[in-house]
Each structure stands twice: as C-alpha cells, then as structure tokens.
Structure 1
Amino acid sequence: MELDQYCPECGEDRTFYRAASTTLHLGEKIKWHCPECSYGFVRIGDNGTAVDSSADA
C-alpha cells in the first residue's frame, strides 16, 4: 500500500510505503515509511478517527 503525504524531513510531498501493520482495539495500526529518508510515522484507527503521529502537537 502507498500513501501520498508531506514529508517534513524531505520538505515536500512523497509517496510513503506501508512498513508494518497490526490490529488493536482502537483499529488498525499502520507504520508508514518515506523511502527517500529515515522519516516514518504511525496511524491508528480508521480515516474518520485516526490518531496520526505525524500531526503537530
């Protein structure tokens, strides 16, 4: 699976690749990885209520 997302390390939109996934009680946990650099992030849950580790605090 692929996801187009802004990469803060590269400074532009990149195609991230699904590195791993598992199912939790909150929904599916998916790790995404930028192939151009070492940046990665995690999303948990469905699209409507996802927790995204790439979001600013």
Structure 2
Amino acid sequence: MSMEREGECPNCGEVTFYRAASTTLHLGEKVKWHCPNCDYGFVRINGIDSSTAEA
C-alpha cells in the first residue's frame, strides 16, 4: 500500500494525505491517514473510511 493518498482535506483543502499507521484486524486492514497541514485524520478499514461518515 502506498504512503500517500489523494483527497481533499475538509479543514484546510490540502490534496494529499499521509499514512500514519496500519494494522490488520479481523475486519481487514486498518489504516490511519493524516493531513500534513492541519493534522486532520481519518481511519480506513477494508475500503470504508470514517471521512465520509455522517456526524
């Protein structure tokens, strides 16, 4: 898996996220992504990410 991911940060508009950590769970691979400008982060597990979750 790559160390960078394209996407727009909802806080600052940055277009590149960096992989902060990963681990394997029974649900699949869990990867934490962070914005280098504002430290916004989200988690992606098996292709589903928390950045699209409704609050």
Using the size of structure 2 for normalisation, the TM-score is 0.85
Percentage identity across paired residues of the two chains? 67
Structure 1 runs of 4+ aligned residues shifted over 2 Å read none
Alignment of 1:1-57 (within 5 A): 1-10=3-12, 12-45=13-46, 50-57=47-54
Paired residues, number? 52
Instruction: Supply the RMSD in Å over aligned alpha carbons.
Output: 1.1
- Structure that is richer in helix per residue: 2
What are the ranges of 5 or more consecutive residues in structure 1 without an aligned counterpart?
A: none
Q: TM-score, normalised by structure 1?
A: 0.82
Counterpart Cα distance in 1 of 2:24 and 2:48: 14
Query: Comparing both structures, which one devotes a greater share of its residues to strand?
Result: 1
Q: Structure 2: which 5+ runs fail to align? A: none
